Structure 1
Amino acid sequence: NLMDADSQDEAILGRMLTIAPRLAIEQGCRPGESGGFRVVINNGADGGQEVYHLHMHIMGGPRPWKKN
């Protein structure tokens, strides 16, 4: 989990974050201010982590419950 990351993990963590926009767009998230996405890393039981290895969630797309 993220609590176990140290300076040796900086490059891979940075890479995960820098490719997130491309992955989000490839999966249908709209770029720019009218679109967007969220990046989430759940950490530990109280943080909602259910799969105990470091991974991130890229979430986005239309939110039908939100009124314009």
Structure 2
Amino acid sequence: MNREEEYLRNAKDAQEWADRAATEEDRRSWLKIAQGWLNLFTRWTAEQRGPKPAGSADPDA
């Protein structure tokens, strides 16, 4: 399993725990963990693509 797959799997697992949480506080905590994994995934994949050339259009903007 590569790093990207690991980050996404961990985010999915945290989401599933959030779905089964006994309290709203636990649910929010699990969702925060899931979001953290997604942020790591986003940063890692952006770093792997390398810097964008100056003046290039951002298709996500």
Determine if the TM-score, normalized by the shorter chain, exceeds 0.5: no
Which has the larger helix fraction?
A: 2
Structure number with bigger Rg: 2
TM range (shorter): 0.3 to 0.5
Which has the larger strand fraction?
A: 1
